[in-house]
Amino acid sequence: MNKLKVFLTVALTLVLSVSAVYALTVNMSVDELKQLTSNDTFGAMASPDHYQRQYFHAGYQSGGSVYSTSSTAATFTLLSANFDGDVTYVDWTPNVSTTITTMASTSMYWLGETPGDERSYWFRNASSTATASITFAAGTGVDLQDNEDSADLALLGLDLMKLTFIRKADSDVLLVLDEYTEAD
């Protein structure tokens, strides 16, 4: 009977000791985690949403897919589907000079609704004929902003334009047009 009491006492002491050490470790880890989360950043990504500034020390590469099309119409209205998904580059071949009107700001679901949301696309006039130009026009709720170095909103053959859409506080959209001309 004494051996059983000693055994139970030793076993209970071991269980309590292990439990105390485990509890102390867990509490320390929680405290350390609280301190880390308030002072440091982590490298893991739980979702595609990021709420802190990102630093890429080795650089980064961005990109997506290409939307290619051609048109024979003198006027065309863009659709949100033209910019849907991972599209980052549009290769457009106009067979005649074309005026392209942007979609309305209310249909730009891919841009987001928060003021300051921004998304950019590269838009290339893929025509080898300089006279087949693309001229941009604003859809409803879109405010065009042209680079002051550009004379107009026309994109000549083989030239490139960066389109940057920015959601305004009133839910309308600024569209910044930055044109690049063929250099070779």
pLDDT one digit per residue (tens) for the chain, 184 residues? 677 776 777 776 776 666 655 655 555 555 565 555 555 555 566 788 878 888 888 988 888 899 999 999 999 999 998 888 899 999 999 999 999 999 999 999 999 999 999 999 999 999 998 789 999 999 999 999 987 765 578 899 999 999 999 999 999 999 999 999 888 8
**Distance in angstroms (rounded) separating the CA atoms of residues 27 and 56:** 34
**Distance in angstroms (rounded) separating the CA atoms of residues 3 and 14:** 16
Q: Residues 169, 115: contact at Cβ < 8 Å?
A: yes
In the block, residue with structure tokens 């739980």: 46
Q: Residues of 64-74 as b/e, b for ≥16 C-beta within 10 angstroms?
A: eeebeeebeee
Q: Record the pTM.
A: 0.71
